[in-house]
Chain A
Amino acid sequence: MSAVRGPDDPGAVRRAPGPVLRKGPGPTAWMDVRRGAVGHWAFSLNRVTGLGLVFYLYLHLAVLSMLLRGAGAWHGFLRVATTPAFLGLDVLLIFGLLFHGLNGLRVALVGTGLAANRQRALFWSLMTVGAIALIGAALHLIGSE
């Protein structure tokens, strides 16, 4: 009989494991981008923009509900919505949509193994497209004032 005892040996004393270290409390662990790699930035920002856009979906439905109250209510909203600050928020929205959409395209391609070895290049090229679109959109919105 072997003198060596393994951890499953009935006579073995098994220590209870200690703490499990995480990168941060709860979902903040998703945001630890200290390594600075593109993939993690993309993942973290995808989550942030996704959650932001879900919030925006309901905000948007609430705002559109003003239309039910007639022209007066809607035009009251338009007075606020056409201020520079609000147009700035529109630019932020477009950033969120562009980032989430284009990175989502990357996730779909990479996630089915089609572009797994080119994920960084794909990220930067899609973000370049997004940046151009964002600048164009911002100039148009600001120029419309």
Chain B
Amino acid sequence: MAIPRTPEEPVDTSRPSSWVSTALTGMALLILVTVHMVAHHFVVKEVGGLRTYDQVLAYVSNPLILAIEATFLVVVTWHAMLGLRAVILDLALPARLERLVRPGLTMLGVLTVTYGLVLLGTLASRA
């Protein structure tokens, strides 16, 4: 018999909508990552296209750029957490650990986005 979970143990049941969210954030990232990579490696004439300190501050002080980078941060973190979740759930961890995956990754995602936004905001304010 397939090795089943005991019926009373709750499992994360949101995989169907998670897959759709992963696909949609992935589609958005095709554009956002391209914009981000081109902007940070293929625009400035310095080696590797990398900006100096002052160039970075000038770049993020532009409200449109700030909005795009913030959006990129949120979407990429969301996609990353969804991807991690899919991989971890495929490992069929014991139920007591599996129950922690969703809240754990949600918290990690929120912390990541918060830190990134604070970082962006701080740099923008220094320009």
Residues of A within 8 A of B (CB): 17, 26-27, 30, 47, 50-51, 53-54, 57-58, 61, 64-65, 67-68, 70-71, 74-75, 78, 81-82, 86-87, 90, 94, 97, 101, 104-105, 107-108, 111-112, 137, 140-141, 144-145
Cβ-neighbour of B87 out of A47, A97, A105, A111 (below 8 A): A47
- A57-B76, A67-B56, A144-B49 known; A50+B112 contact, CB < 8 A: no
**Dominant SS at the A interface?**
helix
Contact status B26-A108, CB under 8 Å = yes
Within 8 A of A (CB), among B44-61: 45-50, 52-54, 56
Known: A54-B83, A57-B76, A101-B30. A65 touches B119 (CB 8 A): yes
> Judging by beta carbons under 8 Å apart, are B87 and A50 in contact?
yes
Compute how far the CA of A101 lies from the CA of B22 in the bound complex, rounded to whole angstroms: 12
Please tell me if the beta carbons of A50 and B50 are within 8 angstroms of each other in the complex: no
* Contact yes or no, A101 B52, CB < 8 A: no
B107 on the A face (CB < 8 A): no
Residues of A within 8 A of B87 (CB): 27, 47, 50-51
Q: Which chain A residue lies CB-closest to B57?
A: A67
Residues from chain B with a CB closer than 8 A to the CB of A47 are 87
Cβ contacts under 8 Å, B112 to chain A: 57-58, 61
Quick one: which of B23-53 are within 8 Å of A by CB? 23, 26-27, 29-30, 33, 37, 41-42, 45-50, 52-53
Q: Are A82 and B19 in contact (CB under 8 A)?
A: no
Chain A CB within 10 A, most for which of B42, B45, B53: B53
Of listed B27, B46, B50, B119, residue having the most chain A CB within 10 A: B50
Which residues of chain A are within 8 angstroms of B49 by Cβ–Cβ distance? 140-141, 144
Q: Which of chain B's residues has its CB closest to A73's CB?
A: B53
A sample of 22 cross-chain residue pairs with beta-carbon separation below 8 angstroms, ordered by A number, consists of A47-B87, A54-B80, A57-B77, A58-B112, A61-B112, A61-B119, A64-B119, A68-B119, A68-B122, A68-B123, A71-B54, A74-B52, A75-B53, A82-B46, A86-B48, A101-B33, A107-B23, A140-B41, A141-B49, A144-B46, A144-B48, A145-B47
Q: Please determine whether A81 and B123 come into contact, CB atoms closer than 8 angstroms.
A: no
Residues of chain B within 8 A of A140, CB atoms compared:
41-42, 49
Residues A26 and B119 in contact in the complex (CB < 8 Å), given A74-B53, A75-B52, A108-B23: no
Report which of B23, B42, B53 forms a contact with A111, defined as CB distance below 8 A: B23
